[in-house]
Amino acid sequence: MIKRTLFFGNPAYLSTKNEQMVVNFPEEDKPEKTIPIEDLGYLVLEHSQITISNGLLMKLVQNKTAVITCDKQHLPCGFLQPLVGHSEQTERIRYQLNASLPLKKNLWQQTVTAKIDNQANHFLNLGKNALRLKRYAKVVKSGDLNNEEALAAAHYFQNLFDIPEFSRNQKGIAPNNLLNYGYAILRAVTARALVSSGMLPSVGIFHRNKYNAFCLADDVMEPYRPYVDAVVYDIVESGGNIEDLNTNLKSELLAIPAIDVMIDGKQSPLMNAMSRTTASLFECFEGSRRKILYPEF
């Protein structure tokens, strides 16, 4: 089932009644709205004057709905997740924490190879030369010792957009603002799937920054980034204003969890594919599987 993503950019009061989320707009002449909580996958709260009841928060967490809050720059900055995301969570976390270094290096090799392959296939879909990216993908070593990921990313972003001065930088020129927003949504999708699979999003296989609470999410989302890039590319090519991250642009980026991807030979909504990826990752930690299941662009 595809879960809904709701975005709130205006003052609102959110509460619950009869397993429904009740939405009231105090500053607008709009009727009260209700949405079944079981249909909600992601709730993005952008405006500082949004009030949400504790009863609703409790039901959202129990439904494993990702509640995302935004900062003054309107970028997602917080993510509410359940303390217990899986019935076997303690055992699953133990497998994750006990993963050997060779296993983690192998999993990172698989992840980087899948990411570069998807970047290359994105280029091929756009009619761009992907030979260098394909070469990078073929020579990734265990643990990515030669940092093929960074080499591929530099080439990829230098040639993705027809903007001569563009480089990938969080504080750089547009469409970096669109990429930042899209990646933040993807990160929340990944963290939600990891928690549902009984793992800690903060303990990564490669990323290990002590200030980063989502290291594993940042690892697992890497092969999915080209799907965000594709959405942003289409927005840029449409010729509209991309300097201002307005509501229309956000609505296009908030559709990312529901876009179709190919995984294991079948089409699946990205949010569902991510759940299959995180489930396969646990099986790798457990020892019942050797490869992470990633989508193919």
> Do the Cβ atoms of 179 and 161 come closer than 8 Å?
no
- Kindly state the tokens that stand for 5: 């993503």
Beta pairing, strands 33-36 & 40-45: unpaired
> Do the Cβ atoms of 203 and 215 come closer than 8 Å?
yes
Measured distance CA(258)–CA(26) in Å, rounded: 30
Q: Is 207 annotated as a binding residue?
A: yes
Cα separations (Å) of 295 from 31, 112, 262? 42, 13, 5
Q: Is 252 annotated as a binding residue?
A: no
Contacts of 278 (CB under 8 A, 6+ apart): 190, 193, 194, 196, 197, 199, 220
> Do the Cβ atoms of 81 and 191 come closer than 8 Å?
yes
Give the DSSP H or E segment for 111: helix 101-125
Phi first, then psi, for residue 289 (nearest 5°) are -145, 155
Measured distance CA(287)–CA(113) in Å, rounded: 21
Nearest Cα to Cα of residue 79 among 247, 194, 207: 194
Q: Is 222 annotated as a binding residue?
A: yes
Annotated binding site: 149, 207, 222
Residues tagged in the binding site annotation for Mn(2+): 149, 207, 222
